[in-house]
Chains A and B, each alone.
Chain A
Amino acid sequence: MTTWTVATALLSHWRRRPLQFGALLSGLALATALWSGVQAINAEARASYTRAAVVLDQNGLANLVSSNGSSVPQSAFVRLRRAGWNVSPVVEGDYRFGTTRLRVIGIEPLTMPAEAQTIDLGNAGDLLSFISPPGTLVVSAGTAEKIRGQTDLALRVSDRMLDGAAFVDIGLAQRLLRRDGELSRIVVAENQRSGLEPLEKLVPTLSVREPNAETDVEHLTESFHLNLTAFGLLAFAVGLFIVYSTIGLAFEQRRPTFRTLRCLGVSLRVLAVLLLAELVLFALAAGAVGVAIGYLVASLLLPGVAATLEGLYGASVPGTLSLRPEWWVSGFAIAVAGTLVSSAQSLLRLTRVPLLAAAQPQTWGRSWQAGRRFQVLAAAALLALSGALLLWAEGLEAGFGVLGCLLLGASLLLPTVLSGFLTVMQRTSSRALVTWFWADARQQLPGLSLALMALLLALAANVGVGTMVSSFRLTFVGWLDQRLAAELYVAARNEGEADRLRTWLATKVESVLPISSVDAEIRGQPMQIFGVVDDPTYRKHWPLIVGLPDVWDRVASGQGVLVNEQFWRRDRLRIGDQLDLASDWKSTVVGVYSDYGNPKGQVIAGINALTSRYPQVSRLRYGLRIQPDQVADLRSRLSDEFGLPPDNVVDQAALKEQSRRIFDRTFLVTGALNIFTLGVAALAMFSSLLTLSEMRLPQLAPVWAMGITRRDLALLELLRTLVLWLVTFIAALPLGLALAWVLLAVVNVEAFGWRLPMHIFPYEWVRLGLVVLAAAVVSVFIPLRRLAGLAPSDLLKVFANER
């Protein structure tokens, strides 16, 4: 009963300050929402990788793979079977059916262990059609829809298959992928007879990949998920600023209540436990709202994320979200943890302040100001650490470390910079009202600095990520113009049609550029080798980063190859390095080209060099050089002559448009998270201004009494907010540019393997500035209305002797 009475007294604070209560709950809910939303997206994507790995890669079982990353010889499988090992061969690679590229997985159903049997071939008829010519593709319903009419192979739909992949008999897969006698890996069953000769003796060149090891897709997408997590953390931190500032003020405002309760015999322990319980209760309530909003945010963003993962990495993630209990739990946990972290200082202070210490809401700001020297030192240390990481550390985590230290260091420095600016302005102004304006702005700083720091983070993230995306887009569009030089792209449905097409086209276009490639493993990495003809198009347009002067002559003569930027950077290749492209094919690196949007390494060789090693290479696709005004005519003639479906004849403009659409879709998620973070920062500002407006009367009343109207005071209040926002916005520009530079020069290189030039987009800053201006006006609107609408009697209370 006593406890309940004390709790009622404590909770009455919030009843009398509903707006403060709303700010606390909304700050916490929003912080939780963005964090748990991002976690939900990551969890869904990772679950889908695992599902794909289990279904498509038999990842639940151990696999034997080549130790040096090359192919596994089929003879190794034969040797293992003969020795009594229960193993099954797999060969896999990408294959294009018309315009649709599928991941083809060749399996041997008779030896595949039961626990890895993804598709049901129990029926004798099914098994027979699967292993007999011409063969069967087992695909998902969606994939079947896409490739119907593009292949002569029989199609069988399986509910367990994932989009973008097909199971086929291993013999057919080797034929399609031109990998006769080669395997990608060998699946090892769990149950083996005892007394078998050890694997390392039988197949010493192979190594065992343990079950559930990280998959290629997981590895590739790691940077993307790390990116999302970083954004989620940033938004969470921004949200926590609101919570920290609201709890801090509420504790100071309630100090008289604490003092009275202590004087009435409530022990410090009971008081602390009750306050802790109150905070946990609020955290759980706000956490529930936050998780619900997070689910909504994740549902809205997931289709975009799925598209991004598909576009960037070829990873298939469903566009719908499932409710996972662990995600709910983590949402509540982060809400409670965030609240406890934000309130730790206030709770600690409660235990240290003497019983009879006077309540001083103003000291809340002043004590913070007293710690500014420590902040400056911490900022300097963080900025130095950021520089050190930039200079001496490597890897994606180090890149994010640079970003984190830079952002946190700069935000800690902001209050000192603002204070310095306001002091200079105050000292250089001579008019009384102007002097007071700057001095008063400086006095508001402790109360607003957390919100301004949050704003700085959100704005810098906007400027930085915006600059990175726009630089990327500008470079990408220019790169597309170079890369997609052919006016028309055509794909035959089979090799016979391709032969006829080549003959027919020979007299009708300026040049025919075959697009032929094979999958290979070079230096232990899955890669594509493309073959190109010697044509002026490449010499004029191909986007080379570095290369020998006679690079194209060397490629055409088979003396050299080009490598893409990501392969070049990842393997620290140099011009003149030798590459083992196949068992009997070595070549020299003679140039490097940019290849944005491709996660894998790529090599370009002369077409003759390629076809001499891979005579069966697919020759279905071609780029055609013609006069632009002849494109439409040639399209219709191709359709008339060969009956090619519209998807098989694509003009340059359509392809570029499609690429740009994919690009824009890729960064949709980033844009949305940017807006959310800015929204949270605006809310932080609103909440701080609202809180401060409750303490403003004693500061404003004397000025009003000396003859400044309420209207003028309200206008000055608006102007003060705008000035603080503007200075923070200006401070965010160099920080944002530094952020963009780190993203472009460090994080992107580590994550994707390519480095982009940085461009500046002042127009985007103006646009962001206008958004910021609107947000500033909105954030100050309610406090301002409150001030302008103050009755003289409210102001007079400040002067009343019996307050």
Chain B
Amino acid sequence: MKTISEAEIEEFGRELDKIRDDVIASRGEDDARYIRRVIAVQRALEVSGRALLFASVLPPAWLAGTAALATAKILENMEIGHNVLHGQWDWMRDPAIHSSTWEWDLVSPARHWKYTHNYLHHKWTNVLGKDRDIGFVLLRLSPEQPWHPYYLGQPLYNAILAPFFEWGVALHDLEVERLRGGDKSWAEVFAQVREILRKAGRQAVKDYVAFPLLAGPLFLPVLIGNFTANMTRNVWAHTVIFCGHFPDEAATFTEEQVEGETRGEWYLRQLLGSCNLTGGSLFHIMAGNLSYQIEHHLFPDLPSNRYAEVAPRVRALCERFGLPYNTGSLLRQTARVWKRVFRLALPTPTPKSRAGCPTPALTQAA
């Protein structure tokens, strides 16, 4: 990888700004139709899935129902919820599809998540000590994190986290580690816990009480179907999200590195800390277009359906400036994530500046 000068970084940033402006200028009716169609398909799938589960005396109906419901929940969480909460559709001024009014089918209240995700994670992407999404405070995913015997168990923690990912996200949003430093009071945490319990309670009643009861004698198959759909969604979300930032080639940064960062440098950090996934258009929709993680991190508030069209332009820019553009198949990237989980479970020397990570002022990508 060749060195990139400060002037080149700013030029890179201006080029990205241009891409962003082009998309904003061309946002319109087709995009609006896209998100409304995805929402309609998602709701129809959900209703069909639940209806099929009610017919689950026939095993194929149970299977089809569970699959439809899981698909609906994945769409709801990823292509719709995540992206609406990013404000990607706020420009339509439709109060029904707006980041300030949206609530999603997860145990964590959207309001909490918007703070930890949109602000902490997207502003401070892969900055150690700032971005709490690095290992979700649970895992050691960067060699700069000091090792502790606790991390020996992290392959197991991660395997447990995957199916219960929505609970992981809810607890993660509590930021309990800030209690120790006194940055956050117990009262604040309790208030948040109450909100989570209220939300989670309704979620649990819906999937594990109300629908099973309505199914009468099919109580158990419906309950198991709903549980399976939730777990499937959780594992899928966990897999896609971990592939976005934690395959081996994604870089992490220190707070000193990002101090006084310019717009160009911010863009560069977003690029170096993110990894794309390759696949067909259906795969991208099911991944909430987080398979275009690089584009999503460069332009978190552009409509997700446009990432595919800007990706080649971003990639061409990376080639022009000699910057890496990390991408791979889901299988390959998942393998790399797990490799990292296993490797960093063991003590490793804490490097001063890791290979694949830019030098302190972010002025060159080594």
Report whether chain A binds chain B.
Answer: no
Which B residues contact A (CB, under 8 angstroms)? none
